[in-house]
């Protein structure tokens, strides 16, 4: 059944999938000129609303300017700031945006450095700054009072009655996962920022209105603070600092604005811009909720800080979310397991490789095993596993000849992969041998009364039994060879194959004594081999073989192909393209996203040149859901040991993924029906 037109349009809207577009603004201002500054704020607010943002954060004391010094004690300035706020409220009644603006606010004869949240002409609340710096170039205690001194819970400002305090959380009725907390500049720099407790109280977006002058290297420290706070709070952190127009009597200002999401930088302004700036990002609220739910120490922290958490007061507000087709503005990587930046990718590959080597070497030391037994097909997975075996031997000071490597051609082995297997085994210095499994397989097929064993009569029967007899025979040989030689069978199956169930139960890609590839996805295996080829760990001869392996089609080679040597089976024609299925795996395993959201992310990542159409994404995601949730868990429930290599997760029943082997995929497939059949 095709989705209704409106439902289809909703699918292409980022807000449908619990993203929210936010903005951090750096207006150009004039010192002690609230009217001028309010006009600059209004211009950027209008632009933010036009870009479909729902929250916009401005710098500290942006209505008055931060560098007023003792001018803050002038009633003309204090009154002018309130008048400017009143003007902003009147002129934004029809603007679909919530904005945080900074200003001085006088309460009971005391002056507070505040952030005012305004939305569609309403003053939703005022949050005073908690920590006032009074060191080096800062003298805020000369002009302001700390926010927790005030005993008022409400005040009247700009003609409106509104909540007042530094323990306010604002929750959006139309998107309850958006819960906004405000802190101001120095509040972030203290040992226990107020936002830490606000996050425990449910805040998912933390806004920081900052002034923060610039000195050499300070921007890097700001980045570290905001990044770490967003990660510790498992929240989005919206930071906006003062820019052009602040007084340069003794200081300078770079207009540094950032948006972070659980430690990941989503967007950053250009520092030292000559004019006003508006920086956008789409925050994934589902990611924050998923990580808080999974990281149960977060919930334990809520319990341990119950007194602080209970001090927060929640305020609901309403704001209609944008409708219609609205793709993501944030970049979604096509290969979530493989960094796009070459330097970062090389570092990732080196670390994964070292983890694999360390895991295998440690297991060998613990068991006292001196020999490794491995089947080498000439394909990607067994190639990477063999490279790890060789380096593990180096780690513990044993010769490469202690690697007993076997290539075991069957009925469908091509000359190309067999040649690659031999070249690789010899190039790494393993003890290499070839075992023709066809006679043993033929005997088994005869015992089973399989049609293939009855002679050359056509048609041949290449069924699942025919395939698995070959796969099982290879594994049977490997385990018996390990018994014979006192060795350990090293597994070769990767994370992607395990996720899709594209492995035979009880054979080498599912069963072994230790599997070094068990949590490495197929898309990363390719880059690992390419990295090893250029790492200098092996001589040039190995690199040449690896280049040939990387250009080989992925095939189980269990059904005879054409006489020209082309394999009859291509894995990706059955289980789907590995780049796409690894994408699906990452977001389902790492975050537990519903299929419709995964499809939306995949569409944003893969549309365009060299990508996939939505109908292809929908089709292969359906294959993934069925195979992952319904037909292959029993294979993962019996996995051998192997090292987890990345935060993207593993499928070990002792680690990241513990699931029943007899569940059904109906609920996931029902959610997939929300995905339109075409772009």
User: Which are the catalytic amino acids?
Assistant: 60, 129, 185
Sign of CA dihedral 373, 379, 381, 385: positive
Going by C-alpha positions, the residue among 588, 659, 653 that lies closest to residue 620 is 588
With CA atoms as reference, report the closest residue to 118 among 62, 75, 79.
62
Query: Using the 8-state DSSP alphabet, how is residue 55 labeled?
Result: E
- C-alpha span between 185 and 225 (Å, rounded): 11
Q: Which residues lie across from 24 on neighbouring strands? A: 57, 279
Measured in Å, how far apart are the chain's first and last C-alpha atoms?
16
The residues near 205 (Cβ < 8 Å, ≥ 6 apart) are 20, 22, 55, 178, 179, 180, 181, 235, 236, 238, 283
Q: How many residues does the chain have?
A: 679
Structure token pair of residue 383: 């190639």
Cis before residue 674, ω within 30 degrees of 0?
Answer: no
What does the alpha-carbon distance between residue 424 and residue 542 come to, in Å, rounded to a whole number? Answer: 6
Q: Judging by DSSP bridges, how do beta strands 403-407 and 371-375 pair with one another?
A: parallel
Q: State the chain's maximal CA–CA distance in angstroms.
A: 103
Which burial class, exposed, middle or buried, applies to 607 when counting CB atoms under 10 A from its CB (0-12, 13-18, 19+)?
A: middle
Nearest to 373 by CA among 418, 408, 413: 408
Contacts of 614 (CB under 8 A, 6+ apart): 599, 603, 607, 675, 676, 677, 678, 679
C-alpha dihedral (665, 666, 669, 670), degrees to nearest 10:
-150
For residue 471, give the nearest of 498, 437, 516, 520 by alpha carbon: 437
Contact 431, 458 (CB under 8 A): no
Dihedral sign for Cα 193, 194, 199, 200, please: positive
Rounding to the nearest 10 degrees, give the CA dihedral for residues 33, 36, 38, 39. 180
Residue 521 backbone dihedrals phi, psi, to 5 degrees: -70, 160
């Amino acid at each position: 059944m095709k989705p209704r037109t409106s439902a289809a349009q909703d699918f292409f809207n980022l807000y449908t999938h619990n993203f929210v577009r936010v903005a951090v603004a750096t207006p150009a201002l004039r010192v002690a000129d609230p009217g001028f500054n309010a006009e600059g704020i209004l211009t950027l607010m209008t632009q933010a609303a036009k870009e479909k943002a729902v929250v916009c954060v401005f710098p500290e004391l942006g209505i008055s300017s931060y560098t007023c010094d003792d001018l803050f004690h002038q009633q003309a300035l204090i009154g002018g700031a309130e008048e400017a706020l009143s003007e902003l409220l009147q002129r934004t009644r029809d603007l679909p945006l919530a904005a945080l603006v900074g200003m001085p606010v006088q309460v009971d004869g005391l002056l507070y450095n505040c952030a005012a949240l305004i939305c569609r002409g309403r003053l939703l609340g005022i949050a005073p700054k908690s920590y006032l710096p009074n060191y080096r170039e800062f003298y805020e205690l000369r002009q302001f009072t700390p926010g927790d001194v005030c005993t008022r819970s409400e005040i009247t400002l700009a003609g409106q009655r509104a909540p007042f305090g530094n323990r306010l959380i604002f929750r959006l009725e139309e998107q309850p996962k958006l819960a906004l907390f405000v802190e101001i500049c120095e509040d972030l720099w203290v040992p226990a920022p107020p936002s830490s407790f606000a996050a425990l109280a449910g805040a998912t977006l933390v806004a920081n209105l900052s002034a923060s002058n610039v000195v050499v290297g300070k921007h890097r420290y700001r980045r570290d603070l905001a990044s770490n706070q967003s990660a510790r709070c498992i929240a989005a952190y919206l930071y906006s600092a003062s820019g052009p127009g602040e007084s340069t009597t003794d200081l300078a200002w770079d207009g540094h604005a950032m948006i972070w999401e659980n430690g990941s930088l989503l967007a950053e302004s250009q520092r030292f811009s000559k004019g006003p700036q508006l920086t956008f990002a789409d925050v994934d609220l589902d990611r924050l909720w998923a990580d808080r739910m999974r990281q149960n120490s977060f919930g334990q922290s809520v319990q341990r800080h119950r007194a602080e958490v209970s001090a927060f007061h929640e305020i609901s507000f309403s704001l209609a979310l944008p409708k219609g087709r609205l793709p993501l503005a944030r970049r979604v990587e096509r290969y979530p397991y493989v960094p796009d930046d070459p330097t970062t990718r090389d570092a990732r590959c080196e670390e994964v490789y070292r983890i694999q080597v360390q895991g295998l070497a440690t297991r060998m030391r613990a068991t006292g095993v001196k020999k490794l037994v491995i089947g080498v097909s000439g394909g990607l997975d067994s190639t990477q596993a063999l490279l790890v075996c060789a380096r593990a031997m180096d780690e513990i000071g044993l010769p490469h000849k202690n690697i007993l490597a076997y290539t075991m051609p069957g009925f469908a082995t091509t000359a190309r992969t067999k040649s690659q297997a031999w070249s690789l085994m010899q190039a790494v210095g393993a003890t290499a041998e070839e075992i023709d499994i066809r006679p043993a397989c033929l005997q088994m097929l005869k015992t089973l009364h399989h049609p293939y064993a009855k002679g050359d009569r056509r048609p041949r029967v290449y069924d699942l039994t025919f395939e698995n007899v070959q796969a099982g025979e290879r594994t049977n040989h490997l385990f018996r060879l390990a018994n014979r030689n006192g060795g350990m069978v090293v597994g070769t199956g990767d994370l992607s194959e395990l996720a899709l169930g594209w492995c035979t139960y009880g054979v080498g890609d599912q069963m072994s004594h230790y599997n070094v590839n068990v949590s490495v996805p197929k898309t990363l295996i390719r880059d690992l081999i390419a990295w090893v080829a250029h790492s200098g760990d092996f001589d040039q001869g190995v690199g040449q073989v690896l280049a040939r392996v990387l250009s080989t089609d992925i095939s189980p080679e269990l059904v005879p192909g054409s006489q020209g040597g082309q394999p009859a089976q291509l894995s990706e024609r059955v289980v789907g393209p590995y780049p796409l299925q690894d994408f699906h795996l990452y977001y389902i395993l790492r975050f537990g996203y519903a299929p419709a959201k995964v499809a939306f992310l995949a569409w944003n990542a893969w549309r365009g040149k060299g990508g996939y159409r939505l109908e292809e994404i929908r089709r292969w995601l359906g294959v993934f859901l069925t195979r992952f949730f319904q037909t292959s868990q029993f294979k993962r429930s019996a996995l051998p040991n192997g090292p987890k290599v990345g935060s993207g997760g593993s499928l070990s029943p002792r680690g990241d993924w513990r699931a029943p082997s007899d569940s059904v995929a109906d609920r996931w497939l029902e959610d997939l029906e929300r995905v339109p059949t075409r772009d």
